Structure 1
Amino acid sequence: MEPVIPIVAIVGPTAAGKTGLSLDLAERLGGEVVNTDAMQLYRGMDIGTAKLPVAERRGIPHHLLDLLTVRDPATVAEFQGWARTVIADLRAGGRPPVLVGGSALYTRAVLDRFEFPGTDPELRAKWEAELAVRGAAELHALLVERDPEAAARILPDNGRRIVRALEVIELTGRPFSATLPQREYVDPATVQIGVRIDRELLEQRIEQRVAEMFDAGLVDEVRRLLDEGLAEGRTASRAIGYQQVIAHLAGDLTLDEARERTVIATRQFARRQLAWWKDDPRITWIEHDAPDRVEQALAAVRSSLPE
């Protein structure tokens, strides 16, 4: 009987330490890393997405990085197909995939049963016109009335996802949240490892990370990407840090204001990430600084495999 190759996903809020654990596990398991961060799909978006430099990847192959230009849209449906293909190829070669990234919906779409509802061009056009006239905040308030669960998971300034949610509600007659991933793994040999960290410490680490990004040249990175079409990119231009620096370069924010708003937006994002995972009983949570965290994670992986 051939050995079962597990699918491992590292989850948790941004700046909690997921990247280090993913490298440790990939080394110990003989696996490879699969990115599940929507913004790390973009070439050139390195500093602001905390993309791990090649020299720091310990020679471990990384997949689904730098696939798109900043002008290209990214969709969950397309990503699901890419990721599941990579995972199947790795497992066929006996290499466990170790998924890591901050986009909870992307991770769930890959791991869980998730069928995407259809689309209606006329409905989409209608809601996009509403977005142009009324703005994202007003449409988000409407979504709160129609589907509070979905609204809680979508940022108030994410016009694209708000439009999609309202379109699906009108198209299907059901809440958009009803179309979100079900808590049922596509493959039973799947394990999620959560990195737990104290909230106060997490907020300090977020502030430190943002400061390091600005010091490392985030403004120059954004300036270069604007020359490559960042402002026209429907997905990339919404990335936290990038939209604040775009506003700074346009003269709408001072540098200090852009930095502070990036900290605030990142903290809000971390809280929304936790909302995705906090009630999922399938996740094995491990303290971020536990000296035996790798051994704990390996034990969780072993226990996930079918007898």
Structure 2
Amino acid sequence: MKEKLVVIVGPTAVGKTKTGIELAKALHGEVISGDSMQIYKGMDIGTAKVTEEEMEHIPHHLIDIKEPTDSFSAAEFQGLVKPLITELNNKRKIPFIVGGTGLYVKSVTHDYQFPETEADEEYRLELEQYVKEHGVDELHKKLYSIDPTRADAIHPNNYRRVIRALELYRTSEGQIEAPNDEEKPSPYQLVMIGLTMDREVLYNRINKRVDIMVNNGLIEEVSRLYYQGVRNCQSVQAIGYKEIYEYLDGTVSLADAIENLKRNSRRYAKRQLTWFRNKADVEWFDMTGVNFSEKIVEIKQFVEGKLK
């Protein structure tokens, strides 16, 4: 028998956190954060991290496990989550991965094999020369044009990781991810839930959430990291932090920083939807204007039917 696994994906602000908690309560489960930034301590408001009160006594894993100066990768996520899934199944509990970082989720659901390729020394030297002539931001744009999800996870200043990702793309004939990966069956008894919402409604929710974050102390939270000297790190390149850093650097006004944060959050939501829409094994549920309690019952019944 395969181990059971439920995954809840979708764009930012669509309601994944609350849905995951309600389903875990109803189905005797625990939540594993599938968010690449909620792992960081002290980064609570900008990552919309679940509060202890919101958890409603449902255990949550992979939250607050790293310092903001630490790096983190999909491979490391996979290494932590796979034994956790086994542990929860052994306890007769259903693991719920809840989050919107596509590559992280996929690394587990389809047992993604991270490519081991030979170094392309000539190409690497070419890219290093490109950095000297054009700068790290232009190099990062190269990666972003190929794989925005991977680019989002790597700080431009960490140019050696950017170079390695581009090298991987070249040596695997245009594939940063393993070819035919989607065709592999999942090693789990997998139920993939996707939450979606009318685009205009979702964007309004995102804008309002940013306003709430600011009112709840986002500027103070980011300032604390800024003045502690947390710079050139993967963590503070997260949406919600990099925009406020620009304000603290004096390059934009606070009003412009907040507008940039809203815009970047909307763009990220669009990329998340595009990523998950292309995954054939996701069952989608529209959360636009629904009675939440009734929708939870509907999703719960679907999950129970798949896990029989």
Give the TM-score category using the shorter length.
0.7 to 0.9
What's the C-alpha RMSD, in Å, of the aligned pairs?
2.6
The one-letter amino acid paired with 2:27 is L
CA distance in 2, matches of 1:141, 1:56: 38
Which residue does the alignment assign to 2:296? 294
Q: Residue 23 of structure 2 is aligned with which of 22, 25, 29?
A: 25
TM-score by length of 1: 0.87
SS in 1 for 2:6: strand
Which residue does the alignment assign to 2:268? 269
Deviation at 1:300, TM superposition (A): 2.3
Which residue does the alignment assign to 1:110? 108
CA distance in 2, matches of 1:141, 1:107: 24
CA distance in 1, matches of 2:10, 2:248: 32
Conserved 8 A contact 1:153-1:275: no
CA distance in 1, matches of 2:167, 2:71: 18
Conserved 8 A contact 1:43-1:67: yes
CA distance in 1, matches of 2:181, 2:98: 18
CA distance in 2, matches of 1:89, 1:129: 47
Conserved 8 A contact 1:10-1:98: yes
Conserved 8 A contact 2:3-2:188: no
Deviations 1:20-57 (A, max 9, x none): 11011000011001001000010001000000111221
Change (3 A) 1:68 1:297: same
Deviations 1:269-299 (A, max 9, x none): 0111011111222111112143322222222
Which residue does the alignment assign to 2:93? 95
| 1:115-126 mapped onto 2 (5 Å cutoff) | 115-118=113-116, 120=119
Deviations 1:144-182 (A, max 9, x none): 8xxx6x435455896357534311023344432445953
CA distance in 1, matches of 2:124, 2:190: 35
CA distance in 2, matches of 1:216, 1:129: 44
TM-score by length of 2: 0.87
The answer for unaligned runs of 5 or more in structure 2 is none
Deviation at 1:241, TM superposition (A): 1.2
Deviations 1:84-142 (A, max 9, x none): 12111111111101111121111111111310012649666764664464245543664
Which residue does the alignment assign to 2:306? 304
Which residue does the alignment assign to 2:215? 215
Percent of aligned pairs with the same amino acid: 35
The one-letter amino acid paired with 1:15 is A
The answer for unaligned runs of 5 or more in structure 1 is none
SS in 2 for 1:230: coil
Which residue does the alignment assign to 1:58? 56
The one-letter amino acid paired with 2:236 is S
CA distance in 1, matches of 2:269, 2:201: 12
Conserved 8 A contact 1:116-1:179: no
Which residue does the alignment assign to 1:175? 175
Deviations 1:222-269 (A, max 9, x none): 111224442132x10210010011111111111101100001111110
SS in 2 for 1:244: helix
Conserved 8 A contact 1:34-1:99: yes
SS in 2 for 1:39: coil
The one-letter amino acid paired with 1:193 is I
